[in-house]
Amino acid sequence: RKEVEQDPGPFNVPEGATVAFNCTYSNSASQSFFWYRQDCRKEPKLLMSVYSSGNEDGRFTAQLNRASQYISLLIRDSKLSDSATYLCVVIALDYKLSFGAGTTVTVRA
């Protein structure tokens, strides 16, 4: 079983729509959680950290459910520029990032 699993998508949504997706992780000792964004043929970039209480950054909302071991990302009012692959990242030790395979989101005009 993979350490971090994501629905690969793709999620094809119109501009202005809301899109949400989850990832699950297997290691209950995981300490830190993140969403990274990766554009085609580019490097991953940190989108946001995920806190136990849930957190928002503009149009992006992240939630963590430790009991069920999943993390979610919700994007409101989707923009064309939100089209990317979103990577769920979990840290069990304090440096080793474990990545999911990514969820592809395509926002169409």
Partner 1 sequence: GAGVSQTPSNKVTEKGKYVELRCDPISGHTALYWYRQSLGQGPEFLIYFQGTGAADDSGLPNDRFFAVRPEGSVSTLKIQRTERGDSAVYLCASSLMSGDNEQFFGPGTRLTVL
DSSP state letter for 3 = S
SS (H, E, C) 19-73: EEEEEEECCCCCCEEEEEEECCCCCEEEEEEECCCCEEECCEEEEEECCCCEEEE
Q: Which is nearer to partner 1, 69 or 76 (CB)?
A: 69
Please report, as residue ranges, which positions from 43 to 72 form the binding site for partner 1 (by CB under 8 A): 43-46, 49
CA distance 11 to 84: 10
User: From the CB of 15, what's the least distance to partner 1, in Å?
Assistant: 26
Rounded to a whole number of angstroms, the minimum distance from the CB of residue 1 to partner 1 is 15
The answer to the question of residue 80 lying near partner 1 (CB under 8 A) is: no
Q: Is 99 in the site for partner 1 (CB under 8 A)?
A: yes
Size of the site for partner 1 (CB under 8 A): 22
31 token code pair? 């300490």
* Interacting residues toward partner 1 by CB under 8 A: 4, 8, 32, 34, 42-46, 49, 87, 91, 93-102
